[in-house]
Chain A
């Protein structure tokens, strides 16, 4: 199984949202990381064939996805970033409706809805109207609808948005279990989510993939650029003006700064182990 992105480009007037992106994706979890406006959502919409590209193509197992039509959408599960719902539907009804749109026969749909509601901890909420749901519950219903057709290609745009830490961990485990021989692409701002489950990370900026690799491979790129520096409390803000500061930690009347810098920021600064978040800040520190 293979999803190929071939020089995919999207222009909105003079603005380039996605700029000649190419990649070969095989089974595994891919984390798409980038700041707001990096082009993640536009790319995901084109991967779902709901947005026409300006140029370039997407192939699933060698076939162009737009041409595949329903056959591609049969193997696709998608959770949009800002997904809507019908407020008068119960969670069960909403999932049954989406199952109908996915062409899943009713008996199979009913069985799968029960399984998914249970897997996502929503079995007690199945009969409740969605307008009464919390953000996290709605998001879980969104994830359930994406999984209804047991998709081979699962595309999740900000799936952990609105989830509390426990729900996030639960979802991460669910996706890691689910991935197996499927292609799972998820975009997020939450670096720890990508760190926890992504086999491959794609770092996106200005509509391009600027980095690609496994978490350890990428983290290695940030090694030697992360420093800890202890300064008096009053000077902390000054350091922040000149460097990307990943973290402040108070220790008595002093502050320990975690600084991202190509070179040693001060003589007393000590190098420390990099994390995925440090790498993110290396590339997006200024934008953040």
Chain B
């Protein structure tokens, strides 16, 4: 396994790319650092969605797990005073994966629009609860205290930035490993022909369940990291349906080509929104939506396919 990992080009690129990012992060302007941090954190959830997408499933409700992750961080901070990044992540991923595991029993039976909308329904249940319950902060949410790393309280944001970069690299490598396993290589097979997969001796329901729990855990980690980066959780920016929409948006924009694509997509999205906000404060959604339309028309396999094309051309000419 480790041998194949060493040979895996993608893994090498992940390690090199994220290492470079972690080093240069220290010299970036604060706002660039922030945007990359938010983009990468969101990328983790997109990574989970990408795995589902490769199976032919789109979820319009992953804000459920994103929100559970974020609120797990907020709640263990407020009620137990836990500020350590590892403990916070363990709680967040544990809680979201557990809920994903339970709901997975229902959701693994559905495909297509039914899968998408059922997910949406579950996420809106959580939204409804959060908005109505005053002790959970209602619509105002609550703030999250500064994150510490093994008892050390870093003075600037760079430590958290580096931690997020590392967490994302680990997530990407793990998913890449998973995709190389037998269960992982079923991903596209299930999309193409479920019956054949069953005849091969695999349980489609179980394979989908595993992917679902994985995507839930990743979305939980993503929400947790974003909550720590922002220092605030609230239902409108963590659990409401536009959040799920944004995740699907980035998934489509990034394309299913590689496990690196979601992070690229996340960062591009963050910068796109920043500039759209700045250029057209009253019509920024138009710019963001227009960009997605453009990508769907001209790059149906997402931004990643553009990079692939460039690489291929370079490979031919040199």
Partners in one complex: no
Interface residues of B (CB under 8 A from A): none
